[in-house]
């Protein structure tokens, strides 16, 4: 299903020291100035120019683990590329924490825009922050490739988000996949759909509702804002609705207490959520209430796919934990960016030229082939499904293959 393209490196002590100095924690601290940031292509006293790959996501606050998963994947790619020693430039990696907040996203983006050495950005991770920051990135002609901002509207040409590229299938694929599995595989007759009123949740729930209706399934829906203090009332409403199954379109920080209240209410039907909930933190926070939940994602499990075996070993060695949701996709996107940067050789890389290169790229990563439509949309629609069993998220596979087309 996934093609094998494994990057193997040797990382002796001397190279490791070089990597840490080039792309270590100094780039994450606003109080510590990056010596190569003031002038584009600064050589830092060496013969090679230095360029920076930016990264924007929620790295603190609620649902931070999803951003950290992506940061680790991208960081690993940069470190490995530097360690190989054959680049015509030196790479730095600079993060900007938007706390998964739309209001803080603009300033987080500006931090990267103001650094003239940043030639491309991985992220933002979430749909709301992406929508808020994309006008500024477009004005700066600074390419952003998001591993996980899946709201379909982000690539609507009317938005004029001309620097945004989506590195995963959008929620038309994910919501459609949920509907397909519920209607064809589980053959349910009535589904209760709940969104968290975020850009992501509203977009995902709309697709799921539309596709379920097309499949002849009765749909009941409601909206419950994120950080709701008590999910008891909505859980009771779902239990009393007569629904056979439910979908929660939101993130794990709220999905966990919701799961607990659903269990207390006695709702025993199939429970679904998307990539925003598909993280070990959901299981940790929800406890036994997470068991039997189905979780979808336009991302495969790097821990079980043959193509990502070496990546998983490298990731575990570097971060002392297994890769999780979007870690491998972020690794691939960083390597996509690096691959396009290499085409410039040691010459100056302008943001506009880099944006053009990325828009026209076709890059075969470990997880999938990355190619973009004219509006920046990812060219592909595969969605995968997981289920929580025994306190662990288990990988089931490609929904289309499981359902039969």
Q: Which H or E run contains 194?
A: strand 190-195
Cα gap 183→325, rounded to integer Å: 26
291, pLDDT greater than 80: yes
* DSSP secondary structure letters along 229-253: S--HHHHHHHHHTT-SEEEEES-HH
Residue 16: predicted pLDDT: 40
39: number of Cβ within 10 Å: 11
* Prediction pTM value: 0.89
Rg of the chain taking only CA atoms, in angstroms? 21
Residue with tokens 């439910």: 246
35, pLDDT greater than 60: no
Instruction: Work out the mean pLDDT of the chain and round it to a whole number.
Output: 91
User: Domains in the chain, ordered, with CATH?
Assistant: 13-169+302-371 (3.40.50.2300), 171-297+383-403 (3.40.50.2300)
Q: Of 32-46, 47-61, 152-166, which gets the smallest average pLDDT?
A: 32-46
pLDDT digits (tens, 9 = 90+) for 194-235: 999 999 999 999 999 999 999 999 999 999 999 999 999 999
- In this prediction, residue 17 has a pLDDT band, given cuts at 50, 70 and 90, of very low
32: number of Cβ within 10 Å: 10
- Please list the alpha-helical segments (H only) found in 149-192: 171-180
Residue 221: predicted pLDDT: 99
């Amino acid at each position: 299903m996934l093609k094998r393209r494994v990057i193997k490196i040797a990382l002796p002590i001397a190279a490791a020291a070089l990597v840490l100095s080039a792309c270590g924690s100094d780039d994450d601290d606003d109080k510590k100035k990056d010596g190569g940031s003031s002038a584009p292509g600064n050589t830092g006293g060496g013969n090679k120019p230095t360029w920076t790959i930016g990264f924007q996501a929620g790295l603190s606050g609620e649902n931070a683990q999803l951003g950290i998963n992506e940061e680790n994947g991208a960081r690993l790619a940069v470190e490995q590329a530097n360690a190989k020693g054959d680049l015509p430039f030196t790479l730095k990696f600079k993060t900007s924490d938007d706390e998964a907040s739309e209001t803080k996203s603009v300033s987080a983006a500006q931090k990267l825009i103001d650094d003239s050495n940043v030639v491309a950005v991985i992220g933002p991770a979430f749909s709301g922050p992406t929508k808020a920051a994309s006008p500024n990135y477009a004005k700066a002609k600074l390419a952003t490739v998001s591993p996980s901002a899946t709201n379909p509207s982000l690539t609507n040409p009317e938005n004029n988000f001309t620097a945004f590229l989506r590195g995963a299938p959008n929620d038309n694929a994910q919501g459609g996949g949920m509907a397909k599995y519920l209607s064809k595989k589980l053959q349910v007759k009535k589904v209760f759909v709940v969104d968290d009123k975020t850009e992501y949740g509203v977009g995902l729930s709309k697709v799921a509702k539309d596709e379920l209706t097309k499949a002849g399934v009765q749909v009941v829906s409601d909206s419950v804002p994120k950080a709701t203090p008590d999910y008891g009332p909505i859980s009771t409403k779902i239990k009393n609705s007569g629904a056979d199954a439910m979908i929660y379109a939101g993130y794990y920080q709220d999905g966990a207490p919701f799961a607990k209240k659903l269990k207390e209410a006695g709702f025993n039907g199939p429970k679904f959520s998307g990539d925003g909930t598909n993280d070990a933190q959901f299981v940790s926070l929800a406890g036994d209430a997470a068991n039997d939940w189905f979780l979808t994602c336009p991302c495969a499990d790097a821990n079980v796919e043959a193509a990502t075996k070496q990546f998983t070993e490298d990731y575990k060695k570097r971060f002392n934990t297994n890769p999780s949701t979007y870690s491998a996709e972020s690794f691939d996107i960083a390597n996509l960016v690096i691959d396009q940067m290499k085409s410039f050789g040691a010459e100056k890389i302008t943001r506009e030229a880099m944006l053009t290169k990325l828009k026209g790229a076709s890059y075969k990563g470990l997880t999938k082939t990355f190619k973009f439509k004219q509006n920046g949309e990812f060219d592909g629609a595969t969605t995968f499904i997981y289920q929580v069993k025994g306190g662990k998220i288990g990988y089931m596979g490609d929904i289309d293959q499981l359902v039969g087309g």
